[in-house]
Amino acid sequence: MNQTIADQHLGLRDQALAVLAMLAQREPDFAEWDDEHHEYVYEARTSAWYDCRESGVCLVVHRTLDDRTCLVITFGEHRVADSIFVDHWECQNRFVNPPTVDDKPKAAYNENGREDVGCKMVDYGRVDLAVQHIHEVIGRFLKARKLAADVKKPKEKRK
């Protein structure tokens, strides 16, 4: 039971906070670099994620501000085990408020388990593996979005 007025961890589990702490220390080297503006070309917003016992973290990633397609990644401690889950899906949304369970595709859970629908499980304490997987998922997403944007550009503007 909480013995203070406020919980600074927002009810998030330790493994989710550990993954978040490691992600907060990494450069997004999977994104392209904009020399003119001296920044990586991508946007990521972080919020809490609540899904029953799975009190974790949600990342919403866009390649650019004008790209409506986003990648939603949720991670935390699995609800029936101590393992760390990493779920992800794409959607066409610029969320004003953070995504909730209602924004998750209905196909995210099926009779064969979550791993069949894009959920990765890593062993308890293997924060490094969760971070590596998240890094790879974001990298693939940004590469695909860049390719999609390049296809839409007129030929003389392509680099």
Q: Is residue 111, in this structure, part of any structural domain at all?
A: yes
What residues are paired with 30 via a beta bridge? Answer: none
Q: Is residue 136, in this structure, part of any structural domain at all?
A: yes
pLDDT tens-place values along the chain, 159 residues long: 567 888 788 888 899 999 999 999 988 888 889 999 999 988 999 999 998 778 899 999 999 888 889 999 999 998 778 899 999 999 988 888 898 888 887 765 554 455 545 789 999 999 999 999 999 999 999 999 998 888 877 665 555
Q: Is residue 37, in this structure, part of any structural domain at all?
A: yes
Q: Is residue 28, in this structure, part of any structural domain at all?
A: yes
Number of domains in the chain: 1
**Per-residue pLDDT at 79:** 79
Q: Is residue 1, in this structure, part of any structural domain at all?
A: no
| CB-count exposure of residue 3 (10 Å: 0-12, 13-18, 19+) | exposed
Q: Is residue 50, in this structure, part of any structural domain at all?
A: yes
Q: Is residue 55, in this structure, part of any structural domain at all?
A: yes
Range of the domain at 87: 14-95+107-152
Share above pLDDT 90 across residues of the chain, in percent, rounded to a whole number:
46
Tokens of 129: 């593996």
